[in-house]
Amino acid sequence: MLLAHHSLAYDGSGIDGGLYTRVIGWAQSAPSWLDSLVKAWSNLGLALFAVFMIYAWWKARTADSVVMARVLASPVIVVAAYLVNSVLKSLVSENRPCQQLPTSVTLEACPVAGDWSFPSNHSVIAFAAATALWFAFRRLGWIAGVAALAMAASRVWIGVHYPHDVAVGALIGILVGIPLALVAGRAAPLVDRLRSGPLGPFLGTGPLPALETAGRA
C-alpha cells in the first residue's frame, strides 16, 4: 500500500530539478570540511533557534509587556507553522528529490518513501522562529533570519529538498508568523498582571521607570 502511494506521489523535479542537480554537484566538488560543516548545521542547527528564543526571553524581562508577550508566543508560533506545514505536506505528497532522481549523489542518506519533501519542515521552523523574534527584537530577528536562510540552503545542499521546497517552507513560516506575532502583542495586559504575581521572577519587572533610570545614570 505504501509503495502504491509512493508511485502516485507528486514529482517536483520539473519545477527546479536542474537547479537541485547543480547545487548537489557543487556539494560534491566542495571541500570535505565545508560539506561536514553544512551537514552538521542542517542536522543540529534548529537548536540555535531555541537558544535565540531563550535569549529573547532573558532580554524581555526588562522590556515592556508587549515584547514579553511576543517572546513567550514564539514557540507557539513555531508549532502552529509546523502544523500548517504538516497538513500541506500530506496533501501534496511530493517525492524527495533523491527518490525522484535516483542517480543523484547526496551528502545525506535519502529519507524513506512516504517522508514527503514539500514544503521543508526545517525551513518552516527556522523562518517562523525568525519572524516571531523579529517582532520582539529587530536585531535578533535579523540574525535569526540569516540563520534561517542558511538552514534552508543547507537542506538543498545535502540533497534532501528541492529549492522550491525550502522557498515555500520559508514563506509559510513568515506568513503564519506575522499575524500570530501581532496578535500575541495583545496579551500584554495579561503579562502585566502576571508580572505582579508569583511569575514575576520569571517574567521580569519590565522597563525601569524613567526617574529610576535617570537616577542610575
For each of the chain's 217 residues, which pLDDT tens digit applies? Answer: 333 444 456 777 788 888 999 999 999 899 999 999 999 999 999 999 999 999 999 999 999 999 999 999 999 999 999 999 999 999 988 888 988 887 677 888 888 877 888 999 999 999 999 999 999 999 999 999 999 999 999 999 999 999 999 999 999 999 999 999 999 999 999 988 888 888 888 888 877 664 444 333 3
pLDDT computed for residue 1 by the predictor: 37
pLDDT computed for residue 114 by the predictor: 79
> Do the Cβ atoms of 93 and 116 come closer than 8 Å?
yes
Each residue of 59-106: pLDDT tens digit? 999 999 999 999 999 999 999 999 999 999 999 888 889 888 876 778
pLDDT computed for residue 99 by the predictor: 84
**What SS3 string covers 157-181?**
HCCCCCHHHHHHHHHHHHHHHHHHH
pLDDT computed for residue 6 by the predictor: 46
C-alpha cell at 63: 522590556
pLDDT computed for residue 9 by the predictor: 62
pLDDT computed for residue 115 by the predictor: 81
DSSP state of 186: G
Share in percent of the chain as helix, strand, coil (round to 5):
75, 0, 25
pLDDT computed for residue 5 by the predictor: 43
- Quickly name the fold that domain 19-197 has: Vanadium-containing Chloroperoxidase; domain 1 (1.20.144)
User: How many CB atoms neighbour CB 161 within 10 A?
Assistant: 31
How far is residue 24 from each of residues 35, 43, 95, 105, measured CA to CA in Å?
A: 11, 17, 17, 7
Structural domain boundaries in the chain: 19-197
Q: What is the DSSP string of 128-166?
A: HHHHHHHHH-HHHHHHHHHHHHHHHHHHHHTTSS-HHHH
pLDDT computed for residue 16 by the predictor: 84
